[in-house]
Amino acid sequence: MSVAAIPVLALAIAGCGGAPTAPNSDDVFYLHGNGLVDKNKTFESYFPKFDHDETDRLPRVVGVGVLDGDVRFARPTDWNIRSADYTAEKRYISYQSPRQFTFTIFERVDPSEDPWPVVEKRYEKETKEQGSDILAARLPMATANAQGRQYLIHTSVRAKPNLEGYATEILVRSNERVLLVQILHRQDTESIMDEVTAALDSMVVY
């Protein structure tokens, strides 16, 4: 499957719906990066109603809340946290999948009242200034309760030999915030489609 598969297939992700407020910290358990439940607070909170047993297409998934509970989604238990920072206006969390891709959620500082064209143009300008090429742009999609716009990005890394990288980047917005979901992957995306789609399909943004 070509690298363009993620933007095309993600159009089938579920549409918008309502959502309650984020939970209080004493209402949940917490997870460490290896998927084990722990009562000590880490970068993830645990939401068992998102859990799902392993299938023939997906590993076992676990429901987590990230960015202080402002985002919830279901991720495979074998994803590991690579890095995270919950500093105000710099919040992000990044996962490494053993299927050789990374999945990162960044909180952007775009005003939530900005219309889509303003948010899109700002992101596109930043992307081009960083030296990346936009191969596909502004493909509409949705998570469980939020709207999104999806991009396919190509980046060349100066090295010996030169390296090429691909990313699917998705602007996701709720009434309260704008996020960037970045999936760094190889050119062939067939092996990662199911778990990426499951994570995006389940994502609730407060």
Please write the tens of the pLDDT for every residue from 163-204. 578 999 999 999 999 999 999 988 778 889 999 999 999 999
pLDDT at 158: 58
What pLDDT band is residue 151 in, cutting at 50, 70 and 90? very high
In single-letter form, the type of residue at position 41 comes to: K
Q: Are the C-beta atoms of residues 73 and 79 closer than 8 Å to each other?
A: no
**Stated pTM of the model:** 0.80
22/178: higher pLDDT: 178
The architecture (CATH level 2) of 5-205 comes to 3-Layer(aba) Sandwich (3.40)
Closest of 59, 173, 33, 67 to residue 112, by C-alpha: 173
Confidence check: pLDDT of 32 > 50? no
Confidence check: pLDDT of 31 > 80? no
Q: Are the C-beta atoms of residues 142 and 14 closer than 8 Å to each other?
A: yes
pLDDT at 88: 92
